[in-house]
Amino acid sequence: MHRFFITLLLLITACATPSAPVTPTAPASLRGDEVTGRILFSRSGGIWLWEGREARQLIAPPATQAVFDPMAERIAYVVPRAGASELLVADRTGVTIAQLTRNDPAAPPGSLDRVYAAMWALYPAWLPDGSGVLAAAQAAPPAGDPPADAPLAIFRYDLNGQRQPVFADANAHLGRITVLPTGELIVVRTPLGSDGQQQLYRIAGGQATPLPGAPAPAYDPALSPDGRWLVFAVGINGGSDLYALPASGGSAVRLTDLGTARAPVFSPDGAMLAFLAIPPGGRGFDLYLAGVTVTDDGLQIGPPRRISTDFAINADAGLSWAR
């Protein structure tokens, strides 16, 4: 059965970062720099909240890919199931207040009936006014013999669960989404086929074009609060590091030289950048912080500081930072 692409999407950069064993536990109290505001991340199958120097589980497993809404009062997240995933919304305390999809069929896991009925929704991103959520999802359940999934497309989900198509590409899967102030989208596009490389594309006026100046493979785009800059991960020699680029396109500038850096996110005031990386000898991804400056030469960051220890954070789930 042709289900390989979901594995590709959930482990989308396994070939771009070294593998590492998962740490089973983490300290209740973090030692290191204090974080201003709140950062969501995923580990051990659940969603965690980092506030000050403390990190605690906010939403129990299975839950991943959490993102704050523009007012930091609600959290959109994904619940993965056997062969399907759901989009849900929680309040700031982690209590579920809405389910936007009904993708999980009643058929038993592993059954052919379930394969023909289950669907996926991934990588939620809030609309700037908080009125709904964009996500990468299938337009319909699998079809054919053997069953084959349609490529993931971009849909808008209203908070009552209604959805509308935004953009589809018959030749590629569309992944993580960033919404620009203009309403245009930056998406991760992966061409169909085993040799497809992740690329950053701009979607505007119903057309998708490569983001000028963005290297490939590229993924994990993050937009600065002022909408001027994109920071993203680039696969390099089996690892990954962060680059910056004007949101309109231009010349990409390398920001890190760690070999495993990915999943960047700006602080709400744009003064800091958080990201994930595996430290030398580390047992998984930890959180790093770096100061951000913008000069005539572009966006730059200061020396990164590691502020967690052996937290084994899920890098593909990304980070979300709010006040």
223-238, pLDDT tens digit by residue?
999 999 999 999 999 9
Confidence of residue 198 (pLDDT cuts 50, 70, 90): very high
Query: Which of these, 209, 202, 273, lies nearest to 241 by C-alpha position?
Result: 273
* CA pair distance 283, 188, nearest whole angstrom: 28
* Contact partners, residue 215, CB within 8 Å, separation at least 6: 234, 243, 252
Token pair belonging to 147? 């069953």
Torsion angle defined by CA atoms of residues 145, 151, 153 and 159, in that order, rounded to the nearest 10 degrees: 50
- Quick count: other Cβ atoms within 10 Å of Cβ 65? 27
Q: How far is it, in rounded angstroms, from Cα 48 to Cα 25?
A: 13
The phi-psi region of residue 59 (left if phi > 0; otherwise alpha if psi is between -120 and 50; otherwise beta) is: beta
What average pLDDT does this structure show over 245-272? 96
Q: What is the rounded average pLDDT of the residues 115-136? A: 95
Mean pLDDT of 291-296: 92
**CA 302, CA 305: separation in Å to the nearest integer?**
9
Q: Which fold, 4-322?
A: Neuraminidase (2.120.10)
Strand order in the sheet with 64-68: 64-68, 74-81, 84-91, 96-99
Asked if residue 274 lies in contact with residue 256, where contact means CB atoms within 8 angstroms, the answer is no
Q: What pLDDT score does 297 carry? A: 81
**SS3 state of residue 322:** strand
Peptide bond into 217 cis (omega under 30): yes
Check whether 7 has a pLDDT greater than 60.
Answer: no
Average pLDDT, the chain: 90
What are the phi and psi torsion angles at 318 (to 5°)?
A: 75, -175
Q: In whole angstroms, what is the distance from residue 149 CA to residue 55 CA?
A: 38
Q: Are 242 and 233 in contact (CB under 8 A)?
A: yes
In this model, does residue 219 exceed pLDDT 60?
yes
Q: For the ranges 16-20, 122-126, 300-304, which has the lowest average pLDDT? A: 16-20
Provide the pLDDT for residue 20.
41
pTM of the model: 0.90
Peptide bond into 146 cis (omega under 30): yes
pLDDT band at 194 (very low <50, low <70, confident <90, very high): low
pLDDT confidence of 296, banded at 50, 70, 90? confident
Given a cut of 60, whether residue 93 has pLDDT beyond it is yes
CA distances from 298 to 229, 233, 245, 246, 263 (A): 9, 17, 8, 8, 20
CB 291, CB 271: distance < 8 Å: yes
pLDDT digits (tens, 9 = 90+) for 132-180: 999 999 998 888 988 888 899 999 999 998 999 999 999 999 999 999 9
Q: Is the pLDDT of residue 16 over 70?
A: no
Question: Would you state the structure tokens that stand for residue 246, as one six-digit string?
Answer: 């004007």
